[in-house]
């Protein structure tokens, strides 16, 4: 693949922009300037720098972010900044989409990709992927509330019964809740249905993926290898 095509595929601008970056000496591979936009290179495994920023080639992007509080999972946010503003420009140019959404006040594991097939695999209802949430409640969590969450509760304006796949009390006011569905404000509505209220909500796992312990709020990283193969 031509070097200019590689940059274009990774979101570094229009083809002419990418050619200009290369000709101007802004692209390095292994510390050496590569200034021929038509140089043929094998893209797989290639790592290059553009204006000092290191970038690994990925035919399809898959990244994980530790979503901070107070940002919206929308390209056109209404009340807060967009979570997409936390991503570098090349990724935004690739039209990355979040795999599902988290409320503006919910924190934790959020995935992004430009692979439509992968989005389908992660979000198809038949997959029943576990989504694990650490919940902080306003009132003490009771055994009766846990039993009801596991047995299933009815949500307001929703005739279907929803239930937790797992529910573990982790403190007087905290619990770990595992869901396999993704209804609107589901955790908040389920806790409200059993007489409690969510004060804090953090997603720590999605399918086989867990939030890296060293990933600070607002930070992101590439996913690759086995963790990027199957949800």
Active site residues: 103
Evaluate the CA torsion angle 135, 139, 143, 146 in order and state its sign.
negative
Closest CA to 57 of 70, 42, 45, 73: 45
d(CA 50, CA 59): 17
Structural contact between residues 138 and 197, judged by C-beta atoms closer than 8 angstroms: yes
* Alpha carbon distance, N-terminus to C-terminus of the chain: 30
CA distances from 165 to 101, 129, 151 (A): 20, 10, 9
Closest CA to 105 of 4, 203, 222: 203
Structural contact between residues 10 and 61, judged by C-beta atoms closer than 8 angstroms: no
Q: How buried is 110 (Cβ within 10 angstroms: 0-12 exposed, 13-18 middle, 19+ buried)?
A: buried
């Amino acid at each position: 693949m031509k070097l200019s095509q590689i940059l274009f595929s990774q979101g570094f601008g229009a083809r002419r922009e990418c050619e200009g970056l290369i000709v101007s000496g802004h692209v390095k591979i292994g510390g050496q300037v590569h200034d021929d936009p038509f140089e043929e290179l094998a893209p797989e495994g290639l790592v290059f720098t553009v204006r000092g920023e290191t970038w690994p080639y990925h035919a399809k992007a898959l990244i994980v972010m530790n979503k901070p509080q107070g940002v919206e999972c929308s390209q056109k946010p209404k009340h807060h900044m967009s979570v997409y503003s936390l991503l570098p420009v090349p990724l935004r140019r690739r039209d990355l989409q979040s795999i599902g959404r988290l409320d503006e006040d919910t924190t934790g594991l959020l995935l992004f990709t430009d692979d439509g097939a992968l989005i389908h695999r992660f979000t198809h209802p038949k997959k029943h992927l576990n989504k694990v949430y650490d919940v902080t409640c306003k009132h003490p969590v009771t055994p009766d509330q846990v039993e009801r969450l596991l047995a299933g509760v009815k949500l307001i304006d929703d005739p279907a019964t929803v239930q937790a796949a797992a529910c573990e009390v982790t403190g007087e006011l905290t619990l770990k809740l595992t869901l396999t569905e993704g209804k609107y404000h589901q955790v908040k509505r389920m806790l409200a249905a059993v007489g409690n209220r969510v004060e804090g909500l953090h997603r720590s796992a999605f399918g086989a993926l867990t939030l890296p312990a060293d990933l600070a709020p607002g930070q992101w990283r590439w996913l690759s290898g086995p963790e990027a193969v199957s949800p």
